């Protein structure tokens, strides 16, 4: 049996989505699945080499990968009036500030470029951003994953919610992450992987307690209720199907990226339906 490598982040939401595949409740054709767990910026970079058959990426990275991968309509991380936030120890003007970011290819960084005219990005691993802000190593930090929920425990203040900013600006959902299938595998394998992922997500919905328990092992010390809250923020009906509204949101994201000079042109939105 040939292997099928799937890249996703070691975070509760991705763990929840892939619970059934990881526990052999759902098969990906006749392939043996190998899970490659790395933070999202690492997966963004790895995708440039086309090493993985299927991988999660930041929506912001897709323009660099459109010739290599197709977007699956299942598996997207979508925020509705919430998303990455910028936190600091106290309120101040972000113009010209040094802001820690979780990677140059992340959607969080792209949103910051769209909504903050002038700042100095300081790339860090996503799990180093909160400690750096708390310890005063950096003026402000761009927070993704469960830090969006837990930052107040570190007595930090929310200077800008980019998900709210996006929704007020566009009245659209915010596409943050996408799951991709490599182009050279063809339509049949694209459909096989998409069906498997959709079935895996539905299985997690139907066996929520077991799937949340598994997701907790990727929660970096968060409590069960926080884990469940975070998972449900980013694994929902939008995750089952990106839909026409999700595709419109992606188009709008790339249009705005072009306006601020973050990308050169609109990528083709080749979505596996």
Which tokens belong to 5? 């490598």
Q: Give burial (CB, 10 Å; 0-12/13-18/19+) of 35.
A: middle
Q: Give the contacts of 168 (CB within 8 A, at least 6 positions apart).
A: none
- Give the model's pLDDT for residue 146: 80
Which tokens belong to 19? 């619970």
- Give the model's pLDDT for residue 53: 97
Nearest to 82 by CA among 41, 116, 111: 111
Question: Domain 87-170 - what CATH class?
Answer: alpha beta
Euclidean distance between CA atoms 207 and 205, whole angstroms: 6
- Give the model's pLDDT for residue 222: 82
- 252 near 161, Cβ under 8 Å? no
Q: What is the pLDDT of residues 210-251, one digit of tens each?
A: 999 999 998 777 888 888 999 999 999 999 999 999 999 999
- Give the model's pLDDT for residue 1: 55
Euclidean distance between CA atoms 183 and 83, whole angstroms: 29
Which tokens belong to 167? 């929704």
In this chain, the answer to whether the domains covering 3-79+174-272 and 87-170 adopt an identical fold is yes
pTM: 0.94
- Give the model's pLDDT for residue 94: 94
Which tokens belong to 10? 């070691």
Catalytic residue numbers read: 145
Q: Give the contacts of 73 (CB within 8 A, at least 6 positions apart).
A: 194, 241, 242, 243, 246, 271, 272, 273
Q: What is the DSSP letter of 102?
A: S
Q: What is the pLDDT of residues 175-207, one digit of tens each?
A: 999 999 999 999 999 999 999 999 999 999 999
Domain boundaries, the chain: 3-79+174-272, 87-170
- Where does 76-174 have alpha helices with state H? 107-115, 126-134, 147-150, 162-170
Helix (H) or strand (E) holding 121: strand 120-123
Of 3.40.190.10, 3.40.50.2300, 3.40.50.10860, 3.20.20.150, which CATH number belongs to 3-79+174-272?
3.40.190.10
- Give the model's pLDDT for residue 88: 97
Q: Give the contacts of 61 (CB within 8 A, at least 6 positions apart).
A: 44, 47, 105, 106
Which tokens belong to 209? 């307690």
- Give the model's pLDDT for residue 224: 87
- Give the model's pLDDT for residue 24: 95
Ranges of residues in the chain with a pLDDT under 70 are 1
């Amino acid at each position: 049996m040939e292997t099928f490598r799937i890249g996703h982040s070691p975070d509760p939401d991705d763990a929840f989505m892939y619970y059934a595949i990881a526990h052999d409740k759902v098969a990906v054709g006749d392939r043996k699945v190998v899970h490659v767990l790395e933070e999202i910026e690492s997966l963004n970079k790895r995708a440039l080499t086309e090493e993985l058959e299927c991988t999660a990426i930041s929506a912001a990275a897709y323009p660099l990968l459109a010739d290599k991968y197709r977007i699956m309509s299942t598996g997207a991380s979508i925020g509705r009036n919430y998303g990455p936030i910028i936190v600091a120890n106290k309120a101040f003007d972000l113009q010209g500030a040094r802001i820690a970011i979780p990677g140059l290819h992340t959607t969080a960084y792209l949103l910051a470029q769209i909504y903050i005219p002038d700042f100095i990005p300081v790339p860090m691993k996503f799990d180093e951003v909160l400690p750096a802000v708390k310890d005063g190593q950096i003026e402000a930090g761009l927070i993704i994953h469960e830090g969006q929920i837990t930052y107040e425990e570190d007595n930090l203040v929310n200077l800008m919610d980019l998900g709210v900013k996006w929704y007020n600006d566009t009245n659209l959902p915010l596409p943050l992450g996408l799951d991709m299938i490599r182009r050279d595998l063809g339509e049949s394998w694209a459909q096989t992987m998409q069906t498997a992922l959709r079935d895996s997500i539905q299985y997690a919905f139907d066996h929520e307690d077991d799937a949340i328990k598994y997701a907790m092992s990727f929660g970096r010390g968060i409590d069960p209720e926080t884990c469940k809250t975070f998972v449900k923020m980013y694994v929902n009906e939008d995750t089952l199907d990106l839909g026409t509204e999700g595709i419109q949101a992606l188009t709008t994201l790339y249009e705005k990226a072009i306006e601020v000079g973050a990308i050169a042109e609109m990528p083709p939105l080749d979505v596996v339906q």
